[in-house]
Structure 1
Amino acid sequence: MINPLSSSHMNIKFPKGHVGIKSFDAELVDQEGNSIPSYETYLHHWFAIKYHQNITMSPNPKLRRHEDVFFQRNEGTCNEQGNPTKIKNGYEEKWLLNIMVIDTRGAQDKKACTQCRCDHMNLPKDFYNVTRDIHNQKLTTNYKGEGFQGPRRMVSLRYKISWVDWNIYQIPVKVYILDSTDKVRSNDSKILHDCLAEYTIPATGGGGDSPHVQKANIPMEKGGYLIYGTAHMHSGVVNATLYGQDGRTLCTSTPKYGIGKEAGNEKGYLIGMSVCYPQPGSIKIHDGEILTLESRYKNEFRTGAMEHFYIYLAEELPQ
C-alpha cells in the first residue's frame, strides 16, 4: 500500500539469483485490483533502486550504522543483476521502490495538479500564494480553492518483472540517463555534470508557433552500440532528439496523448513517448563523443519541465 504523497518501500519482492532483467512494468491499482485512471490518482513517478545491505544489520534503527546500507547505480533493464562477483562480502543485494502519487479527485484543474513540484528549483519567487494561474492569467471570480474531502481508499503499485537466468548467451547493456539541463564543465581532466532535472519555461507574451528548446552538449566517456532510446517528458512536450557529434540523428522521441477514459488512455494526458530500436550494430556512439540533446515544449509558461533521455548501449554484439 502507498502512503500519502511520496513513500519508499524497502526490500521489495525481486527475482533472486544471477538473472538478466528483461522488463519492469508498473501501474496503480485500487483495493480491488482495478487499474486507476490518471484523472483520479496521478502516478507522478516510481523508481526501482538497488542497494546492498549488511547481512548483520540490526533490526533496531537506533543501532544501525551508516555503512550498513549503500545504494548502487541502477543500470536498468536488459542487464544482469545478482552477480555475486559484484556484491561486497558480507552484504546482500536488495531493491526498494520510491513512489509519488497525487490524488486529483475533486480538483478543478486536474492536469495542473499533476505538475506538483517536489522541491523549489527554478521557481519564480512569487509562484506560491498568488492570484494567477499556470498560464500567468488572473484567476476567475468563480475559482474554487477550498479543500476536497473524498473517501479514503487504498492505492497500491502493482509491478511485473520479466527475467531470464543468466548464461553465456546474455549480453548486458549499460543505461545512461541524459539530462537536457546538464551544464557540463571540466576540472582539469575530470568531467563534471551539473543537472537541475527540472526547469521553468518563462512566459513569452503569446508564445507563438516555435517551441521552447532546451539544449545540452554531453560528452560520453564510454560509448557503445545504441540498442534503445526514449525520452521522459511532461505534458506540453513537442518532442526530444538526440544527435551525434557529427550532427546525425540518433533518436527522436515523440509524445502520445490519450483519447479515452480508461486507465492508460486518459484523454489529454501524456500516456507515453515513442521508442527507438535501431538495428543492432547500425548506430555506434564512440568513446569521448559529444552528444547533443534537445528538448522541445510548447512555448508557454510552465514549471517543472523535464527531459531525461534514456539510452541503452551494448559494448558488444551477438555473434
Structure 2
Amino acid sequence: MSYAGDVEGVTGGRPPRLLDQVRAALRVRHYSRRTEQAYVGWIRRFILANGKRHPAGMGAAEVEAFLTVLATRHEVAAGTQNQALAALLFLYREVLGIDLPWMEDVVRAKRPRRIPVVLSRGEVTSLLAVLEGQAWLMAALLYGTGMRLMECLRLRVKDVDFARNEIVVRDGKGGKDRRVPLPQRLREALQAAMERTRVLHAGDLAQGAGEVWLPHALARKYPGACRDPGWQYVFPSARLSRDPRDGRLRRHHVDESVLQRAVQRARRLAGIDKPATCHTLRHSFATHLLETGADIRTVQELLGHKDLATTQIYTHVLNRGAGGVLSPLDH
C-alpha cells in the first residue's frame, strides 16, 4: 500500500507521498534536518507497525499501542518515546490537519533526573593533551565556551568577534542566539583555523564553487551571501558534497562523528574511566564555573537554558556534592 496523500497536487500531477508531505511541512517551519530525519523515521515505523495503514484511518488505540511497545518491548529511553510522540503529534496536526484531542491525554514518559558526567580540571587537561590539530581546537572550544557539539561545528567565520572577545552562537537549541566568551588561550589557534578556511574558500571560488548553505531563505534574500567569506564554516569539511535537499554542490562543516571519535580515543589514551563524551565538556564548563563562584543565572545565559531549573542540575557542586560530606566511618 502506498503512503500517498489523498489530495491531488496543485499541478494536477501525482499526489505527493505522505512522507514527502511531512518533509515539506517540516521544512516550511524551519525544523532542523536532524529533526526531519527523526520525525520521518518515527512516522515510517508507526505506519509499518500497523500493516502500512494510512494514519488518517488510525487513532488513539494505535498510537498508545505503538508507544507502549516502544517502552515495554524495545525498552527505549523516555526521551526517545517522547520524540516518537512528538513526531506523531506533528503528523496529525500539521500534515493531516486532524484535531485529535485524545493525543493530549497520551501519557508522556518522564525523564529520569540524572546527575551529569563531569570531568575534573585535571581530567580535562589530560584529555586535551592527547588531542591534536582541529580536534583539539574544537574540544577546547566545547570546554572553554560551553557550546553544544553542533553549535561548535556550525560556527561561522563572521560570528567570531576577536575585538569583543566573544563568540555569537546562532540558532542554538530552541532557535535562540546567545553570546559566549572567547577563551584567550584559543585566540591564535582560532585565527589560524579561520585563515585556513579563507584559503580553502578562495580555492573553491577559483574552481567555480565556494557556496555554503544559508538558513531561513537568506540565499534568496542575499544571493551573494553564500559565497561570502564571513558565512563560511570555521571548521569546514575536507570535501565538497551535494546538498541532499537541493542537490547543489557546497562545502559543509566537518561531520560530528570526527570529533566524537577523537574524544573517545583521547579518553581511552588519557586513562579516563568516566563515560565522557563531547557533551561532557559542556557539563564540565558549567560545573567548573559554578565552583569558582560564577552566578547561576550567568551560567544559565551562557548555556542557553530556557529554564533555570535546567541549570540547577549543576548546583550539586556548590557544596561539593557527596564528596563534601565526611562519612561517619571517617569520624
* TM-score normalised to structure 2 length: 0.23
Higher strand share: 1
| Greater C-alpha radius of gyration | 2
Question: Higher relative CO (CA 8 A, sep ≥ 6), structure 1 or 2?
Answer: 1
Between Structure 1 and Structure 2, the one with more helix by share is: 2
Q: TM-score, normalised by structure 1?
A: 0.24
